[in-house]
Amino acid sequence: MGADDLAREHGHRTVTPAADRQESSTPNGTPPAPDLARLYRPRSIAVVGASANPDKLGHQILRNIIDSGYSGHIYPINPKAETILGLTCYPSIEQAPAVDLAVIVVPAEAVVPVAEACGRHGVAHLVVISAGFKEVGPDGARREAALVEVCRRYGMGLVGPNCLGVIDTHTPLNATFASAQPVRGSIAFISQSGALGSAILDWSHQQNIGFSRFISLGNKAGLTEVDLILDAASDPHTNVVCAYLEDVKDGARFLDVVGEATQRRPVLILKSGTSEAGGRAASSHTGALAGDDRAYQCAFNQTGVIRVQSLTELFSLATAFANQPLPAGPRVAIVTNAGGPGIIATDAVERMGLATARLAPETVKALREQLPPECAVYNPVDVVGDAPPERYRVALEAVARDPGVDAILVLLTPQVPTRPPEVARHVLAAREMAPGKPIMVSMIGGELVREATDFLVAHRIPCFTFPEEAVMALAGMYRYARRRQRGPSPSATRLADVRPDEARAVLERLRSEGRRVLLGPEAAQVAAAYGIRVAPAALARTPDEAVAAAESIGYPVALKIASPEIVHKSDVGGVRLRLASADAVREAFVEIQERVSSLMPQHRFYGIEVSRMMPSGQELIIGMVRDRQFGPVLAFGMGGIYVNLLKDVSFRLARVLSQADVEEMIQETKVYQLLRGYRGAEPADLAAIQEALARVARLALDLPEVAELDVNPLFAYRSGEGYVAVDVKMTLA
């Protein structure tokens, strides 16, 4: 492809088809991803800081661009050289012809002026290789801010600074200083660590793993992981998007748009480091339960990102996704020539959420007729140790044709009659026969299987040394396929019947009084404004007020000292239950007031809470804490005093809470077994509990000043009878 072709193709891309436009709109209205066509497929590139000295990065990058076979225009920018590597130099960017992409490798202090010049010259994207920015301290941070400002002013995209560069093997273009060149393929790899990225490029060569793109994020001052993931998910040459991340820069934008990317392509993320979630030192139950990493876990789950725990897992899965169709279901057929690996694979299939396919009677019959009697014709199909390749052919054809088989796993141990290369050819033939079924291969061995595995990998059949790895990759594909089939679930938090103004008025009053902790009736009032069913309650400052409240609420009532300071209210004699008459209420009021004031003479009297005694139900907790990155984290689980002991709690982020999330977060807990009717008991009102969760989420989204919230206990009643929030605690930021 020449520069003109690139230009033409580029022009073509600017006519965005309607479908694409629709896809790039986002539900919550965050800006769509920037157009990165001129980053990955520039018509022309300037290397600012190009050098004739082979030891300099400015030389290595230029050489990589040339060596990669890039067919557009290349302009080395260097005021002191005439030509470098046979290309005409320009003394400055302004003196070069039109430039789409400028790769900047000048000393840090020169970067901002160079960027300014690039902006004036109409450059579309900058890749700033130079280090010496935020990572070196306050001076660098100031420099970085200035760079961002220049890019913003001129509407330039910015990769880096402090990065390795950008590769697109299909353009082709390698604008990095990595010493290893990637093989062309369909994995896009986005790395927050440049060193890891270049090491992976070297390793991938040996493994014959092919990349469509590679991009080093550097300091992520301009383009972030979200921009790059979103764009890669639309790249026709990319089948799977992989990222190594140490953090997510803009949690809200991540939540708003990554779900869309994962509907198009599988997105695998290895996230290292632990986030310091806001909840860490929180005082609420929910805060103590929501661990450091929980919000990231939720963000990945809820957007459909597949989170991997290791680099091994990342590339095993990536290889599978890159080369194989998604399985239509969980049913795996195993063909092996040895019992042991067959058992190992079967164990792994069941452990990892897949199923052993039950072969159709015709399949079993065909196998029985064509294989010797010592072979096992049920799944796993064992062609046994003395199998020549022909038996593999028979077995593979049979399972490939069986409509009850969604995926095929071929296991081989090299024995005397095995002839692995011939078996490999039969594997290929099976793929032709069943192009919709993923096929994974594990040939256990070294030299004896090398020719066969090389052949298979060259033909895009993933090969693993050990069966468990193949199963792990298949299981990941199945999870993704199921999730994508399900499609997006509607938001659970679009509720019409909420009264934010009423809630804000309560919070406003607190703020004006300089208080952070809401009294019980105040918290209940805020909750009620969001349609959460709370036990009728009122704050009384005198015995008469208490009696009046009780009369209006209805007996029996409970009295409880209202106080943000007193945590264990019954320990100080601050609680009286089951009061059934005006006299009892009056007497209890006086008693509580006296007990508290004698035990805690300094205590400010806020009043006494009068609340209706509610019939008890299954105790639940619904809670909320805020994560710095991703906003409100919702918690649901078994309530009562043992919440922190049993830790039977599930979590979701409120910002992208879908109806499916609400249902799943209930189903994930053990208390769900009780709610749906344990040992013949009547089921609880699940619809009402789901609604309560959605309402708490809506509250958290509308009222950012509410830092933490605990509804504990919430009594769940029988189906049709709803629930009641017995105790609501709320704290402001």
Q: How far is CA 670 from CA 87, 338, 651, 666, 678, in A?
A: 68, 40, 14, 9, 11
Under DSSP, the state recorded for 678 is G
487: phi > 0 → left, psi -120 to 50 → alpha, else beta; which? Answer: left
Closer residue to a second copy, CB minimum distance, 271 or 560? 271
In angstroms, what is the minimal distance from the CB of 178 to a second copy?
Answer: 9
Q: Which is nearer to a second copy, 325 or 445 (CB)?
A: 445
259: three-class secondary structure by DSSP: helix
Q: How many CA atoms lie within 13 A of 563 on its CB side?
A: 21
Closer of 386 and 551 to a second copy (Cβ)? 386
Cis preceding-peptide flag for 500 (omega within 30 of 0): no
Report the nearest approach of a second copy to the CB of residue 103 (Å): 17
Angstrom CA distances, 13 to 9, 44, 393, stand at 6, 17, 46
CB of 614 to a second copy, least distance (A): 22
* Residue 160 beta carbon to a second copy: minimum distance, rounded to whole angstroms: 15
Cα separation, 329 vs 261, whole angstroms: 22
Q: Which is nearer to a second copy, 180 or 701 (CB)?
A: 180
Positions in the binding site for a second copy (CB under 8 A) = 60, 136, 179-180, 191-196, 198-200, 202-207, 244, 246, 270, 272-274, 309-312, 337-341, 343-344, 346-348, 374, 385, 413-416, 444-450, 465-469, 642, 645-648, 670, 673-674, 678
Q: What's the DSSP call for residue 192?
A: S
At closest approach, how far in Å is the CB of 12 from a second copy?
Answer: 37
For residue 31, whether the previous peptide bond is cis, meaning omega lies within 30 degrees of 0, is no
Taking the CA of residue 583 as centre, how many other CA atoms within 13 Å lie in the half-sphere pointing to its CB?
0
Q: Alpha helices, DSSP H only, in 208-239?
A: 225-232
Nearest CA to 157 among 124, 120, 190? 124
Taking the CA atoms of residue 206, residue 207, residue 210 and residue 211 in that order, the dihedral angle to the nearest 10 degrees is -80
Whichever of 76 and 182 has its CB closer to a second copy, that residue is 182
Q: Which is nearer to a second copy, 205 or 541 (CB)?
A: 205
Shortest CB 472 distance to a second copy, Å: 9
What is the smallest separation between the CB atom of 385 and a second copy, expressed in angstroms?
Answer: 5
Residues 6+ apart with CB under 8 A from 268: 240, 241, 242, 243, 305, 306, 307, 308, 314, 317, 318, 321
The amino acid present at 402, given as its one-letter code, is D
Considering the complex, what minimum distance in angstroms separates the CB of residue 56 from a second copy? 10
**Minimum CB–partner distance for residue 60 and a second copy (Å):** 8
Compute how many other C-beta atoms are within 10 angstroms of the C-beta atom of residue 640: 14
Q: Which is nearer to a second copy, 97 or 340 (CB)?
A: 340
Kindly tell me which of 448 and 688 has the beta carbon lying closer to a second copy: 448
- In the bound state with a second copy, the residue whose beta carbon lies nearer, of 204 and 303, is 204
- CA nearest 574: which of 555, 593, 546? 593
Closest approach, Cβ 247 to a second copy, in A, equals: 10
Minimum CB distance to a second copy smaller for 449 or for 707:
449
Which residues 6+ apart lie within 8 Å of 608 measured at CB? 539, 540, 541, 546, 559, 560, 561, 562, 589, 592, 593
| Closest approach of a second copy to the CB of residue 470, in Å | 11
422 versus 702: smaller Cβ distance to a second copy: 422
25-34: long-range contacts, CB 8 A cutoff, minimum separation 24:
26/256, 26/257, 26/260, 27/256, 27/491, 28/252, 28/255, 28/256, 28/655, 29/256, 30/252, 30/253, 30/256, 30/257, 32/257, 33/226, 33/227, 33/230, 33/231, 33/257, 34/157, 34/223, 34/227
Give me 271's structure tokens: 């996230």
Nearer to a second copy, 385 or 404 (CB): 385
* Least Å from the CB of residue 344 to a second copy: 5
Q: DSSP secondary-structure letter at 86?
A: T
State the nearest-atom distance from the C-beta of 243 to a second copy, in Å: 12
- Residue 351 or 628 having the CB closest to a second copy: 351
CA-based radius of gyration for the chain: 32
